[in-house]
Amino acid sequence: MLLDRNTFFVKEKVQFMKLSNTYDIFDPETNLKIGVAKEEQSGFQKLLKLFLGGSVPTKVSLYCEESSTKVLEIYKHFTWLRSKVSVRDANGNDLGYFQGKLKLGLGIEFNIFNAGDIIMGNLKGNWKARDFKITNVNGELLGSITKKWAGIGKEFFTDADNYVIDISSNDKKNEDKILVLGACLALDSVVFEAK
């Protein structure tokens, strides 16, 4: 099953003139495809995205490859200055959300809240290097997200991104894994696709 792993390779599909994103999820040890995440928007939302860019609400659902069942869903709310992205389980239950913090410079920071609006930790990193750490409120590492270079031709002529997600501990609950997986998809849809 998808959530049995602690390391994931997320590969954004290359598309010309894309109005929605699709990501393939692989097991980095076996190179087997284990899931797919799809941005699900109505035709009207896609049209709005042409004019308003990354501020348009977006939903991304992650499906298990072998069973086609939904594992998680993230929902990016309408954004102007501070992004908010909700993370939901397969049944649509809120697990928490990420709230962007206003920062100057190259840094990115999101606070992580549970469904009861209690801060659980944060996500920090450098958007240029695309290297991020997710920690709990005690500063303990929950996971990391690292951009992997795809090669000069792909980097110059497309905006497709590849990431490795590493969950730091073997005893993490599925809710923690869902939040870390959701963080990667939220980063790409909120920060890097907001053009």
- 101-146 pLDDT tens trace: 766 566 788 899 988 999 988 898 876 767 889 998 999 888 898 8
Q: Do the beta carbons of residue 96 and residue 109 sit within 8 Å?
A: no
Distances 60 to 1, 36, 73, 89, 150 between C-alpha atoms, Å:
19, 10, 6, 12, 23
Q: Give the global pTM.
A: 0.79
Q: Is the pLDDT of residue 33 over 90?
A: yes
Q: What is the mean pLDDT of the chain?
A: 77
